[in-house]
Amino acid sequence: RVLLRAQHLAAVRHHELHYGMDWTQVIGEIRQRGVTLQQIKDRCGFASRGHVHDVATGKQPKVLWEVGDQLLKMRTVVRRRKK
């Protein structure tokens, strides 16, 4: 029971990480490293390139938790690349 509560709290904290994120900035950083909308779509689970574009321009300010998690992981990976 204690383990389930700890797992729930960890999930809630992780979810809160994504709440209020500036996805335009996150996608912008990824794009500055030469990643295409198609590559972002394929890696992060977006429905289409247009969906990525809508999030990148702020037309759609929220994303599913799973998509946001993949975006943050992708940003971490591309930040480690040499320019």
pTM score of the predicted model: 0.75
The Cα–Cα gap between 17 and 14 comes to 5
The Cα–Cα gap between 46 and 40 comes to 8
Residues composing the chain: 83
pLDDT bucket at 83, cuts 50 / 70 / 90: low
Say if residue 4's pLDDT is above 80: no
The Cα–Cα gap between 16 and 27 comes to 19
According to the model, what pLDDT value does residue 81 have?
Answer: 83
pLDDT one-digit tens code per residue, 9-68: 555 445 444 567 899 999 999 999 999 999 999 999 999 999 999 999 999 988 998 999
